[in-house]
Amino acid sequence: MNEKKPARPSMCIYPGSFDPITNGHMNLIERALNIFDNVIVAVANNPDKNPLFSVKERQELIRLSIANNPSVIVDSFEGLLVDYARKKGVHVVLRGMRAVSDFEYEFQMTFMNRKLDREIETIFMTTGLRWLFVNSNVIKSAVKAGACVRGLVPDVVADRLEQKINGNKTKE
């Protein structure tokens, strides 16, 4: 019983596409800061996904959305998450889940990461109830169809989505 426990991890990596960041993502970042001193929000550079925003644009949107919170580090990575985690010296990965449909994919990724690096631990957090239906693809589709997404994404993101998707079109 007197065995010394390792210090709690002070940092986690929250990886994702964040194309764009939503209020659901923001909710997880805020809640992760109740557990960890720092959260690295790591934008995945996955060219197979054909993102709307470039990696640099996504990083900028995240920085603007978090209001330069010094506890949140915005970064990007390419390749395997476990390689990125090793490079950063971080052993905890945060993953968000909205619904049961997210579970199968996250389950597979967790075990693959554990196979590649036994020191990587994954923590799952469910998003706040009000954000269960919000994901980046739904947000982009809604804006393309002319919907207002304010309140579902940070205001700066809503503005950039409107500019990026609708350009200089005027509403009639």
Is residue 31 part of the annotated active site? The answer reads no
Q: Which of 17, 58, 65, 136 is catalytic?
A: 136
Is residue 171 part of the annotated active site? The answer reads no
Q: Which of 17, 25, 58, 160 is catalytic?
A: 25
Is residue 87 part of the annotated active site? The answer reads no
3-state SS, residue 13: strand
Is residue 136 part of the annotated active site? The answer reads yes
From the list 48, 63, 71, 59, the residue with the least C-alpha distance to 19 is 59
Give 70-129 as a DSSP string: TTEEEEEE-S-HHHHHHHHT--EEEEEE-SHHHHHHHHHHHHHHHHH-TT-EEEEEEPPG
| Residue 139 CB neighbour total at 10 angstroms | 24
Q: Which of 88, 91, 98, 114 is catalytic?
A: 98
Q: Which of 49, 130, 144, 150 is catalytic?
A: 49
Asked if 43 contacts 55 with a C-beta cutoff of 8 angstroms, the reply is yes
Residues serving a catalytic function are 25, 49, 98, 136
